Each structure stands twice: as C-alpha cells, then as structure tokens.
Structure 1
Amino acid sequence: MRPYVLSGHTRPLTQVKYNREGDLLFSCSKDNVPTLWFTENGERVGTYDGHTGTVWTLDPDRDSAFLITGGADMTCKVWRVQTGELFASLNRSGPVRSAEWAEGSKMFACASDPFRGKPAEVAIYAFTPDRDQMSEEPMYCWNIDSLANDKKITKVTWTPLNEFIVTGDECGIIRIHDPETGRVVREIREHTKRIMCMEWNKEKTMLITGAADCLSLLFDTEDWTVLKRFESNSPVNAAAISPIKEHVIMAGGQDAMSVTTTSSHVGKFETKFYHMVFGEHFGSVKGHFGPVNTLAIHPDGTGFTTGAEDGFIRVHQFDKEYFQMHSELDDLSALEELATKTK
C-alpha cells in the first residue's frame, strides 16, 4: 500500500477532510492556506487565500459548493469551492477552533476559544447562497456555564437531523446541547484529558472519540453508552470508522514537544487498525515523522488520508487483499462491489 505523499503545506497539518463523493480532499494546517486536492492522483487544485494565521478547521458542504474554515485570526470564513472566492468572513470573539455544517447545509456551527476575558463560545449561523441575504450575525450564540473561562471547546458536531450539538473540551468532557439555547441536555465524563476528535459512522448511529488520555471510545448515540474502549500507548489525535468494514482507524503519537528523535517507532507515529467489535489491534501503517494530527476515511471505504506534524499529507488506497479480508460482520455487498471495481 504505497501512498501519495502530498507536500503543499509549510507547517503541521490540523485537519484533512473528504467531500461527500470522495473525489476531493481538503486540508488545512498551521500555515494560513487551506488547500484543495484531487483524491485520485494527488494533484493540487488550488488554495483559499485570506486567513492571516493558523487554520484550525474546515468543512465542505454536502454539494461541495461551499467550504467553511476557522482560524486563529478570529474569523470563520465561507468560500466558493470551485473558484476559491471568499464568500463571507464572520468575526468571532476568539480563535475559531472547530466548525461544521449542519445536515442540509442551511446553517453551520463554529466554536471559538476564550480570549481577552471572554469565554469559549458556540455560534450558529444561517446560510444562504445569496450573499445579500446572509446575515453576518449568528442566529444563536452561547457559552457553557460549567466550562471554566480559560478552557477551550476543542470539537463541535451536529447530531442526526440537527437535533442537538455535541461539544468536546480540554477537560475531556462531552456535552450534548440544545442548539438554540446551549442548554446542556447531557454531560459525559468518560475521558480524563483533552478531546482531540469526534467522528460519526456513515449512518450517524455511532460516534468515536479520541483523546489525550490515550483512549478512543465508541458511543451508541441512541443512549450515549460506551460500546467499546480502544486503548493506545500514546495520545489519540484522530479516529474514524470504516463505512464498509467493522474496522476502526486510530492515529496520534507522542506529543511533538516531547519527541527527541525522528524515529516513527520511538514516537509511535503509526496509524493503527482495530476490529470494532472484538477490539483487536490487527495492523498498522507507518510513514510520518511526527505525530499524526488528523485522519479521514474515504466515503467509499477504499482508503484513508492522514496529516501530521511533519507537514505532509499521505493518501492511502487499500490493496485488493484488504477487501478480501472480512468477517461475518462486514457489509459484504459493499465489499463485493468494490472487489469488482478493483479487478
């Protein structure tokens, strides 16, 4: 499994994300230039120029028409994907740490850090493709009373049908909120350190988290019980669920400031594969020379992409043997279709 190694960023990667069809790959890093790539061949399509600091987060809408980004320059920006044109720049009270479109792409949420005495906030904006009708003021904006003023919201995501908003913070607490008021409907204290990632499965019935406490947890979002605990020997910066197999992919590594060598073995910089039901670690992929900060699985389950502290993006396509390896729990119809395509 030889990856494409994409070199387009000058600083550590902060997020990589596929569009819904999987033909486009978006990336952002601690430089100020979000970048668009073709997934098939790794060709760099273009960049989105306008941020003046680290870009922490990005998310394309369901039609790949608009892209939202959030950065340390205290703005959440909306771009036209095809042209790279800046559609809107929305000022926030602090650096924007996480942003995500709601289902239907009619609104989006962004979480900003505490700054100059102001606490961390979540803002929800209504979106319309007509710039003249889009307000630069959020529909709803709230902070979390139980979150200390100096603590950050690290991740924000929507539940199915936009019923609730889920936040993760530096203390390892996951909260379920009413989107309009911010009222905490439920509080989950399973992690003990910073939440690094929160990713849904394809059907949005399960959520996987990764945290600095070296744990990745799989939740049933019907009642928010923990279905499985995956333990690592290093912080889990990123985790994702395969759409076609009962597999979980996790990545991370020893904190960059603690690493005294570039050896991937010493720093534990590999991407690990676990069986989602049995919890068994059955494989790993190495290559990065620094902690893996972000990963994304292709929507078809045909591969995955990682971005790391070394500034490189690695786009992997699974070998034919991967699709032939299955258990009775896998989606066999999807696997057979993929096997036919790869012949």
Structure 2
Amino acid sequence: MSLDLGDLVPKLEYPRILDEYGSGSVAVLTLPTVPRTPKSSRKRLYFQRSSMIPILLQGHERSLTQLKFNAEGDLLFSCSKDYVINMWYSCNGERAGTYDGHNGSVWTVDVDLQSRFLVSGAADNTLRLWNVASGQCLYTWEFSTSVKRVAFNEDGTQVMCVTEQRMGYPSTIRVFDINRDGDGTNQAEQPLHLFNPVGSKATVCAFTLTPDIIITGHTSGKVALYNVQTGEEIERNECAHHDHVTDLQLSNDRTYCITSSRDRVARIHDTKTLGVIKTYTTETPLNSAALAPTRPYVLLGGGLEPMSLTVTHLRQGKFETRFWHKVYEEEVGRVKGHFGPINTIAVHPAGTCYASGAEDGFIRLHHFDDSYFKAQPYGAVNIEE
C-alpha cells in the first residue's frame, strides 16, 4: 500500500516512521530522482509498509555467531556458542541436518561453491572439514588457540583460517590446500602458507579476486591486504575504522567489500586499493553488515554488548536489522523482532531473502515480498523521448 504524503512527510520524524510497525515489518522509502538535491531540501515521496512474516528458526541454545548461505541459496548454515552447526532449507526454514563434533563454541563457518565441503572453526582450537551431504567430519586440524574466522577461496581449492591471539601465541593466518579428489579425507596436515599479521590481531578475512591476495580486518580498526605467499602487507588503511572490525563480507564479484565495526560505522571498500567508497553511520555498535546483491541496499545489525544492556535498552527496541541505501548513504528501513543484539546477517545470493542471528539464540529468516522488489530506490524514472 502506497501513501502519497505530499508536504506532510517533511513534518514527520523520519526514524519514528520507520519504528511504528513492530515485529516483522519494514518501511521502505523511495528516494528522489537523480540528480540529487541537497539534503535540507530533499523530500521523500512516499513510503510503503511491507508485512514480511519471518520464519523463526530454533535450533541453537546459545547466541548465534555466524550465518552463511551456499552459492545456490537453497541452504543456510548457522553456528553458535552451543558447539552445534545446523543446516536449514532456506525456502521453508526446515532443518536439514546438524554437524556434531566440536567441543567448544563454533565461531565461524563457510561452504564451498559446489556445496560439497563445509569448514568450521571453534573454541576447541580446531578447524574441521565436513561433507555437506552426509555430515561426516572428513578432517580436523588442531592449533594452540581458537579459530575465529574461516573462508574458502573462489574455487574451493584453498581454505584460510585466522587463529586467536592468546596465551603468548600470536594471531596467525594459515592457508591450507583442499584435496578435492576422492572422499576428501586425505588432506595435508601442514598449511601451504603461514604468517602473522603486522600490528594488531586479525579478526576477519576473505580471499579477494586476485589469487594469493587476501583482505583482513583487525582489532585496531585497520583493513589490510596481504600476499599469502610471502606474508607481506601490501596495502593498508589504518583509518578504515576506529575500533574492532566485527564483520567483512564481499560483493559477488569480489571487487568491493563491506565492513562493520564497534565504532558504530559500516563502510564499503575497494578490495584493490582499500579506498572507502561509502560510509554508513549508526548510533549503536555494529556486529555485522551485508550487501543486497540485486537491490541498492546494505543491511546492518548490532546493538550494545550483552553486559551493557539494561531494561531501558530492551524497551527501546534497538535490536533491528537496518536497511541503508547503498548509494545515497541514507537509512530507508528497519526490521524488528530480536530480543538481543544482532550478531550476524546473511543475504541470499539472489537477493530474495535474508537471515539474521542474534544473542537471543534465534534465527529470523525473512523472504522479501513484492513491495521490496517494486520499490523505486532511485525515484521515478523519466524516459526521454
């Protein structure tokens, strides 16, 4: 339903409009036509109310740590602090299976392009390789500290992991070759590449489009590029953030990425130069940021640390997924529902749905309705004759 508000819209309080609709709703605002006018004189033409009914996935007893869709988007993988990895059908939220074997909080998961292998890292100081279809643990690598982040390269022939800096052990990045022949149980025990990042410890990582070049985010807020063969830092942006980088997600073509941070800011970076392309500033620390692949939106999630929460914060409903216009850097909608800070957000590769996981232990799977796809994020298009 569209409402033409005319001159009434500028008199309303923008965030209040977005907050009115309660759980499972998102308000989408259409933005003006290009060229843009100054913010002081810009009018938002109308807004739509979209009644997206989420699917609530209950498969974890503790807070979520990461969500990941496979390349086709039909499967959603989730991990949490309860030692369990779950696999869900994204179409209906039915649980397809579990991966049991870790003896500590599972911090991270990733799945290869063919949905054949799954890798996971946990607080039991292990990196594990799984068969997606059977749930069998194919191989286990053991380290001195916990594994905080894992990532496959584009063709699934290598996997990278970041281990924690603790008990005198430095934060270390390792790259392993993945033997895809046979049943996958014959893997090399020693890493192909191993190095310690320069300066502050790395928290997130990903393979870029360029072979042997990875991008990392650090506790100091730095974002850097490394050559994994030499361990050399070839590029860095010390001022990418001013606090801990909490998430890093790549675009489909790996030419740019989005990062989130506890400094309450998310940014889009060029993966070759690390130049900042766009900035999204919020009022709460951010734990996750994701890119909508088919629409010009970014999704942000976060909230205050669990130990900092009060009854007042709970009543204010700060635990929302926030939609920002990727180009205009304006917040255009929010989706409520969680009862704790959002720790992880993942968007379907085709952009048809997204999932959020929070400190409350629940996953909320939202399928976008027609109004999301019919909205005009750049305003009405005038075709010149």
TM-score (norm 2): 0.82
- Does residue 231 in structure 1 map to residue 281 in structure 2? yes
Amino acid in the other structure paired with 1:100: A
Secondary structure of 1:88's partner?
A: strand
1:170 to 200, 203, 219: 219
Structure 1: gaps of 5 or more residues: 331-343
Cα drift, residue 267 of structure 1? 5.4
Structure 1 pair 22–262 and aligned structure 2 pair: CA distance change class (3 A): farther
Q: Is the 8 A contact 2:235 2:274 kept in 1?
A: no
Cα drift, residue 204 of structure 1? 1.6
Which position in structure 1 is the counterpart of 2:330?
280
Which position in structure 1 is the counterpart of 2:129?
78
How far apart, CA to CA, are the structure 2 residues paired with 1:221 and 1:115? 29
Which position in structure 2 is the counterpart of 1:96?
147
Q: Percent identity?
A: 39
Map residues 1-343 of structure 1 onto 2, 5 A cutoff.
1-129=52-180, 130=182, 131=184, 133-147=186-200, 152-189=201-238, 190-261=240-311, 264=314, 266=316, 268-328=318-378
Cα drift, residue 263 of structure 1? 5.7
User: For 1:55-108, what per-residue CA distance to the aligned partner results, in whole angstroms no more than 9, with x for missing partners?
Assistant: 000001101111000000000000000000000000122100000001111111
User: For 1:127-161, what per-residue CA distance to the aligned partner results, in whole angstroms no more than 9, with x for missing partners?
Assistant: 013446421111111112423xxxx4210111014
Structure 2: gaps of 5 or more residues: 1-51, 381-385
Secondary structure of 1:257's partner?
A: helix
Secondary structure of 2:350's partner?
A: coil
Superposition RMSD on alpha carbons, in Å? 1.6
Amino acid in the other structure paired with 2:232: R
Cα drift, residue 182 of structure 1? 1.4
Secondary structure of 1:162's partner?
A: coil
Amino acid in the other structure paired with 1:312: F
Cα drift, residue 326 of structure 1? 2.3
How far apart, CA to CA, are the structure 2 residues paired with 1:265 and 1:174? 35
How far apart, CA to CA, are the structure 2 residues paired with 1:37 and 1:161? 32
How far apart, CA to CA, are the structure 1 residues paired with 2:55 and 2:312? 21
Structure 1 pair 13–206 and aligned structure 2 pair: CA distance change class (3 A): same
Structure 1 pair 244–39 and aligned structure 2 pair: CA distance change class (3 A): same
Cα drift, residue 187 of structure 1? 1.4
Cα drift, residue 220 of structure 1? 2.2
User: For 1:99-128, what per-residue CA distance to the aligned partner results, in whole angstroms no more than 9, with x for missing partners?
Assistant: 000111111100000232110100100001
How far apart, CA to CA, are the structure 1 residues paired with 2:131 and 2:379? 40
Cα drift, residue 261 of structure 1? 2.1
Structure 1 pair 328–43 and aligned structure 2 pair: CA distance change class (3 A): same
Secondary structure of 1:15's partner?
A: strand
How far apart, CA to CA, are the structure 2 residues paired with 1:39 and 1:121? 34
TM-score (norm 1): 0.92
How far apart, CA to CA, are the structure 2 residues paired with 1:264 and 1:201? 33
Q: Is the 8 A contact 1:254 1:267 kept in 2?
A: no
Q: Is the 8 A contact 2:212 2:229 kept in 1?
A: no
How far apart, CA to CA, are the structure 2 residues paired with 1:217 and 1:201? 13
Secondary structure of 1:323's partner?
A: helix
Structure 1 pair 264–117 and aligned structure 2 pair: CA distance change class (3 A): same
Cα drift, residue 266 of structure 1? 2.6
Cα drift, residue 223 of structure 1? 2.3
User: For 1:252-292, what per-residue CA distance to the aligned partner results, in whole angstroms no more than 9, with x for missing partners?
Assistant: 11111111128655351100011111111110000000000
Cα drift, residue 203 of structure 1? 1.9
Q: Is the 8 A contact 2:297 2:326 kept in 1?
A: yes
Larger Rg over CA atoms: 2
Secondary structure of 1:146's partner?
A: coil
Amino acid in the other structure paired with 2:164: D
Considering Cα pairs closer than 8 Å and 6+ residues apart, tell me whether 1 or 2 has the greater RCO: 2
